[in-house]
Structure 1
């Protein structure tokens, strides 16, 4: 048997662990994962105010921990990533609490209470550097009181729950700045991030088998988010990926002109931040209802304006972490081939509804060549152009009122309209999700034109009132009116 040497890691490993790639948002989310796994219903993030030494605290009303569990939670890799987990367990490697906390602060304190018994532990990098030992501090009640800011001590749970306190926020101050105003802005962005990542815990969907959780930042609830607008979107039937416990749900958002102000808030559309419909299309990967990654088609589709209304929700259980190669920060997941193939088949069928909504905006229009005011002329090599459709009855009726010279002038004008159609400007504005102000046609103008058309149809073409209504109710501009059939029928009985 070969000789062996026990290689105990140098305490400087704690310093090295700070650079695994967390930012403030992913670090806080990792701590919240632990709170949710501990059945917390209220999670409060608090940070310092004027006159206070800098700190960030995450307090929950979850199960709390006994002494052995608390020690294990502060150990490096205290959990086996390959062990079987409960369905609500959002952990993975047993590193999150330590690596997430130390990525932002040099001191992390864990104070937890279960059955009214409290235990407080602390990793302090300066203390470890001074002792050159893996020295996890155990604080008594008096030391715990001195270590906690007064506001945080007052918020501490008395019977069950946990507080994670960060001090000496060197990394946070390096990235966010020293002024409280800059910290406030960073925390506002954190609140928005948490509102999206945990939106199904904050506002569960009807089919979600989870209990609702509340998250606040300095007492203010994180904003409500819903990237799918499930109340108003077109939904594709759910599909289970064969041989797995992963599910696919497809959504096609309403056209941007149909979005209400509340819809925009739920989607968090902000052009200045790159949160447009085009930017946020793609797959949304959820692990145990927690959003992991979003806004990518995994190279299965190009991210284009034509598919900007498409979203695919992918629900995976935590039992599939290994197959998805989930990273330590739980912010990236790569689908295995069997799931990737299913996702590709699914997304190809989903893109079609988005294209239809983009192109036709849900308008009821027949295939009659006379139906539309604008004709789409398909050219060779995939090009196209728009022309005014002179066969449209509304335009035909107007042309009949013109003299020969006026018809020639009108025809020249139509050619100018077609040649100067602002394709590039429209594409640019729609890609930025700008809304166009639709000009409403008056009911009287439609009635006047319809009367003239009915006169010809009834006297020359011998149409019945019902035939007239059936023919013109799907033709623009009559089809733009919700009560088009009533309008046309009334005309035929005057």
Structure 2
């Protein structure tokens, strides 16, 4: 029935037709201003790789001697053909997602990438289609949402270059004109990469920890194209295997009987399960201390399809406070979208309505204990732990590049770090025949004699983090030789006789290998 002016209140707004309005080219500028942090943007792209069935993913920084050039993310997922690439690069198009997919809105690839880079290139191959690629630039979007087709020969060459990851199928996402990289001044690339990779490793290890625990292989690598290397195309100078950072990975709970499962009656959703944990007081485990401020990390940990989407915060239930730093609650979001709990486009925070917090207030476990009793238990565990005296270990200069990440993580768990100190790195270099190692105190580096490298890698070519036992022992021996003022003769004498003894040990090791091979 047509609308009659002056009629009673209309609950549905009447319409007389519709018009299709394509987005203005200025919409492209909005894609570059979504507020994505660097780590959040990379994680969003990795979500796409996981949705494509990838079990091997590499985040690859390319650099030369002076600059960081570009970033690539390579996976061995199902890949895309030409039609799939066109759909993926269409701005504003939302595709259909599986019930277990990590993607939600269909904007992540473009928005996350163009928030940081001026050019986004996607090259892909399926088992049944050749390598193909598309490129989207800020200029192309302004020019009527133009998407460029990548030369098929280049697409194939790029896929072939990463045949260690992409065997029959897979995808490569490439960022060029990364704004953060362009701000790094000459000579500061090493420092920037060290910090950036450390933050990225922590973020990915935390937010994807369930996938990493289930077998996902996720690496971060740095390739220096100016260093010659095999075939003149450069060489790998750093490589990190991302390990799971489980925010609930304690060995013994902070209070007996935990974790406990509470059931919260949430209007509009029914019953929700809250798995309440209490960490042991003063824990040094990475999943407790190395994922950010303890005050910020208390509270709710929301998961969507096993992917962490919020790491801490009480969402209006209460304010964070020091006595609750041991309290963490795991919540799996409902599979279907709803009006009670909503996730932001960056998959970083969950917005809740009062229905959720009211339901948590009424939550009980199987024995009738209330959620408020849980919070009281967490406070008491904190207070009891604060009363205990502990041995204070001497702070150390942290380990850096060249030492296996697993070793670095344990060192950080066991020993406090000296604030403001540059990490001690390890590398192989050309040294005199009578030296096993040398100290580069100006650059906080330990240089090992590369003549012995194969001996400590069973005759194989080692990677950036090879010979972990040798490097770890050297770190423990030499850590207090860095960050000093005056260099004492007695300390130099100690370094000299360590060198002599270790050199004899290396020669003995080489002789035994030669004897075993003869």
> Fold-level match, TM-score > 0.5?
yes
Q: Indicate the residue corresponding to 2:417 in structure 1.
A: none
| Alpha-carbon distance in structure 2 between the residues aligned to 1:328 and 1:155 | 33
1:251 counterpart = 2:277: yes
In the alignment, which residue of structure 1 is the partner of 2:211? 201
Deviation readout 1:95-125 (Å, 9 max, x if unpaired): 0001001111011111111115222111022
1:159 to 1:240, Cα distance in 2 relative to 1, 3 A: farther
Q: Secondary structure at the match of 2:22?
A: coil
1:354 lines up with 2:378 in the alignment: yes
**1:364-415 CA distances to partner (integer Å, 9 max, x unpaired)?**
xxxxxxxxxxxxxxxxxxxxxxxxxxxxxxxxxxxxxxxxxxxxxxxxxxxx
Cα distance change, pair 63–321 in 1 and its aligned pair in 2 (3 A): farther
How far apart are 1:156 and its partner, in Å? 5.9
Q: Kindly indicate whether residue 149 of structure 2 is the aligned counterpart of residue 138 of structure 1.
A: yes
Q: Which residue number corresponds to residue 64 of structure 2?
A: 50
Are the equivalent residues in 1 in contact too, given 2:61–2:68 (CA < 8 A)? no
Equivalent position to 2:35, from 17, 21, 29: 21
* Residue number in structure 2 paired with 1:121: 134
Q: Distance in 1 between matches of 2:372 and 2:199?
A: 34
Q: How far is 1:322 from its partner?
A: 5.2
1:436 to 381, 387, 390: 390
> Within 5 Å, which residues of 2 pair with 1:51-90?
51=65, 54-79=69-94, 85-90=97-102
Inter-partner Cα distance in structure 1 for 2:42 and 2:360: 30
Provide Cα deviations, 1:271-320, integer angstroms capped at 9, x if missing partner.
xxxx3533421111111111111221123233222222111111114423
Q: Deviations over 1:214-233 (max 9, x none)?
A: 21111311233121235322
More strand by share: 2
CA distance in structure 2 between the aligned counterparts of 1:69 and 1:251, rounded to whole angstroms: 43
Identify the residue that residue 483 of structure 2 maps to in structure 1: none
- TM-superposed CA distance for 1:325, in Å, is 2.2
Once residues 253 and 107 of structure 1 are traced to their aligned partners in structure 2, the CA distance between those partners, rounded to angstroms, is 44
Q: Against the structure 1 CA distance between its residues 127 and 152, is the aligned structure 2 distance closer, same or farther, given a 3 Å change threshold?
A: farther
Of the three residues 4, 8, 12, the one matched with 2:26 is 12
Residue 4 of structure 1 and its aligned partner are, at CA, apart by 6.6
Q: String of CA shifts for 1:415-446, please: whole Å, max 9, x gaps.
A: xxxxxxxxxxxxxxx5xx996339xxxxxxxx
Instruction: Report if aligned partners of 1:236, 1:350 keep a CA contact under 8 Å in 2.
Output: no
Provide the C-alpha distance between the structure 1 equivalents of 2:99 and 2:271, rounded to a whole number of angstroms.
12
Aligned partners of 1:269 and 1:277 also within 8 Å: no
Separation (CA, whole Å) in 2 of partners of 1:265 and 1:434: 21
| Secondary structure class of the residue paired with 2:358 | helix
Counterparts of 1:341 and 1:35, CA distance in 2? 37
SS at match of 1:192: helix
Whether the aligned pair in 1 keeps the contact of 2:140 and 2:147 (CA below 8 Å) is no
SS at match of 1:320: coil
1:327 is aligned to 2:347: no
User: Using a 3 Å threshold, how does the CA distance of structure 1 residues 222 and 43 change in structure 2: closer, same or farther?
Assistant: same
1:385 aligned partner: none
Matches of 2:389 and 2:134 in 1, distance apart?
A: 54
Gaps of 5+ in 2: 1-14, 222-238, 364-370, 393-518
Contact kept, 8 Å, 1:227 with 1:267, in 2: the verdict is: yes
Tell me what 2:407 maps to.
Answer: none
Q: How big is the shift at 1:158?
A: 3.8
Gaps of 5+ in 1: 204-210, 362-429, 439-494
| Structure 2 Cα separation of the partners of residues 40 and 10 of structure 1 | 35
Judging by fraction of residues, say which structure has more helix: 1
331-340 or 27-36, which deviates more: 331-340
Distance 1:253 1:57 in 2: 37
Once the 2 structures are TM-superposed, how far is the Cα of residue 238 of structure 1 from its aligned partner?
2.1
Superposed displacement of residue 241, structure 1: 4.1
Instruction: Write the distance in 1 (CA, Å) between the matches of 2:203 and 2:37.
Output: 12
- Conserved in 2, the CA contact under 8 Å of 1:56 and 1:166? yes
Deviations 1:326-367 (A, max 9, x none): 111111111233332223344423212212323445xxxxxx
* Contact residue 64 and residue 114 of structure 1 kept, 8 A: yes
1:265 aligns with 2:286: yes
Q: Residue 295 of structure 2 aligns to a residue in which SS?
A: coil
Paired with 1:103 and 1:185, the residues of 2 have a C-alpha distance of: 20
> For residue 229 of structure 1, what is the aligned residue in structure 2?
249
Q: Does the Cα contact within 8 Å between 1:77 and 1:93 map onto a contact in 2? A: no
